[in-house]
Amino acid sequence: MSWAQDDRGTALVLTLVLAPLLLVALAGVLQLGALRVAAARVRAAADLATLVAVNDQDDAELARSGALRLAADAADVAREYFARELELSAPLLDGAAEDIAAAADVAAYPSAPAYDARTGARYDRPTVRIAADVPVRSPIFGALVLRPVTVLHVIAVSSPR
Amino acid sequence: MKRQSAAATLALLLLMSSPALAWNPFRERPQPPVAAREPDPAPFVAPPPGIYYVTDTYVADVVTSSGPLTTYSTTTVHESTGSYARVLDTVGTGASSAFDGSAFNGRRTLGDGRSVAGTYYENYVLIDGGFVPISVVFFQDDAELARLVAVATRSPAVTASPPSLPSQAARSAAPACCPATRPVPMPASTPPPARPIRAGVSLLPVSAPLSSVEVLRGRAVALWPRAFVDDREVPVLTWALVAGDPGEALVLAGSGGAPFRTSWRRLAPPGAAYDLVFRMEVDLPDTGHRTADARITVIVRSPALEN
């Protein structure tokens, strides 16, 4: 029997070669799962903020014309609640929740119909829209010579139906 | 032995093989001429669902009166201007629409102040393969009977008594020398016609009456029944909600100094609204004791996410 036909010890070599690859794949899967959870929480934060902002109407316009128009501070309310909701996910964020909310593009369309200059959408009801870039920590990606911070783009739109 | 047999068989097959050539039996015949196809002048772009090619173009709003009947219609001309359109909203009499005020030809109102029924269309032109909205037009389609007829049928006090025919005795008393002249009956003194009462509902004690309101679900609102005679507000003695969903109201009737307070926790079915009818009593020296009904449409909305 020659040395080429001797398979003693190959399992050890195979394990030493494949184990790092398997660990890298496992870490990547875990990081992707964590990012999906973070994305869901950020999206829920934006949705809730727009819903709260739309849930108020202009009393003067209501008495004058009977039509539903958003309150004058709808955009501010949306930004404030976006920051509050993001604060609940602070360990996941790569930045202060208030700073992220302050940098978000919040637009209120008090009356309808209206056109969104950012998305081109047409709104047939009074609408609040949040578009934000939320930086989320991804340390495992950083350890794998990838980006340690992943930016999530989120858009939430709400209007009374 | 098996290997040698297989190799011999394979070699024999390779040596005996010949190419299979196809034979065209019509290769000697001339080819029929193929008509040269002209390219399309413009690429066909299929309109998205809901948008159709316009074949009848708006001309003008028409209001015609025939006796007590007033008809609101729209004239069109059968021609194609190359534009497209889609239906935005179809509204009934008095119903509000999100597109009110967006049509270039506006939306008329009936004699009682309610908006006419009709359909909103949005016009498009095809530019660079995309449909670009250019305008909104309202096609009115409604009719009403004159309010005078309605008032006359409601209040018999204002109907004039039929002229009395001259009696037989009066005709026989006419002198024989003179041609028979028909005596003109003098109408008896009738009471002055009752002044119409216009009833409405407003959201503030001094704001304008509204035909419809949009309120958020669960939001507390106060509806003030109001009455007017000759554009002058008169006090309401009492009011009562006689039709419609009262929502979470605790009191369905009251005096004129108190509003109807309520909120709605349930939305109306899609496309529907709550129609409320208030009956109010007015008692003044110049109007007498009268009742009048006011109608208001309540649209309850609730925040929702958009896709």
Q: Residues of chain B whose pLDDT is less than 50?
A: 147-187
Residues comprising chain A, all counted: 161
Residues of A in contact with B305 (CB under 8 A): 47, 50-51, 156-158
Task: State the Cα angle at B20 between B15 and B24, rounded to 5°.
Answer: 160
Nearest in space to B119 (alpha carbons), one of B134, B144, B143, B99: B99
CA distance A94 to chain B (A): 27
E strands present in chain B: 52-53, 56-66, 69-78, 84-91, 118-127, 130-140, 142-145, 197-202, 212-216, 221-229, 232-234, 238-243, 253-255, 260-262, 274-284, 288-301, 303-306
Interchain CB distance below 8 Å, B210 and A50: no
Strand, helix or coil at A64?
A: helix
Q: Residues of chain A whose pLDDT is less than 50?
A: none
Mutate one of A124, A129, A130, A154 to test the B interface: name it (highest B CB count within 10 A): A124
Contacts with B237 (C-beta within 8 Å, 6 or more apart), sequence order: B255, B256, B280, B281, B282, B283
Check residue B193 and give its pLDDT.
Answer: 59
Taking the Cβ of residue A47 and every Cβ of chain B, the question of whether any pair is shorter than 8 Å is answered with: yes
Q: Report the chain A residue with the minimal C-alpha distance to residue B133.
A: A122
Output b/e per residue, B54-63; b: 16+ Cβ within 10 A: beeebeebee
CB atoms within 10 A of CB B189: 5
Dihedral (CA of B165, B168, B173, B179) sign: positive
Dig out the tokens for B154 from the structure: 């409601």
Task: State the Cα angle at B225 between B223 and B228, rounded to 5°.
Answer: 140
Residues of B in contact with A55 (CB under 8 A): 216, 303
Region class of A68: left (phi > 0), else alpha (psi between -120 and 50), else beta: beta
The alpha-carbon radius of gyration of chain B (Å, integer) is 38
Dig out the tokens for B199 from the structure: 């009833």
Considering chain B, what percentage of its residues have pLDDT values greater than 90? Answer: 25
Nearest neighbour of A160 by CB, restricted to B207, B208, B301: B301
Nearest neighbour of B303 by CB, restricted to A51, A64, A112: A51
Mutate one of A43, A61, A125, A155 to test the B interface: name it (highest B CB count within 10 A): A125
Indicate the helix (H) or strand (E) that contains A155.
Answer: strand A149-160
Nearest neighbour of B306 by CB, restricted to A62, A63, A157: A157
Answer yes or no: pTM beyond 0.90: no
Contacts with A86 (C-beta within 8 Å, 6 or more apart), sequence order: A42, A45, A93, A97, A100, A101, A134
Strands B212-216 and B288-301 turn out to be parallel
Check residue B43 and give its pLDDT.
Answer: 58
Instruction: Mark which residues 54-113 of A lie under 8 Å from B by CB.
Output: 54-57, 62-68, 112-113
Q: What number is the ipTM of this complex?
A: 0.79
Dig out the tokens for A155 from the structure: 């858009």
Check residue A77 and give its pLDDT.
Answer: 96
Check residue B305 and give its pLDDT.
Answer: 93
B36 exposure class (CB count in 10 Å sphere: 0-12, 13-18, 19+): exposed
CA distance B288 to chain A (A): 31
CB atoms within 10 A of CB A159: 24
Check residue B153 and give its pLDDT.
Answer: 43
Interchain CB distance below 8 Å, A160 and B96: no
Mutate one of B51, B99, B305 to test the A interface: name it (highest A CB count within 10 A): B305
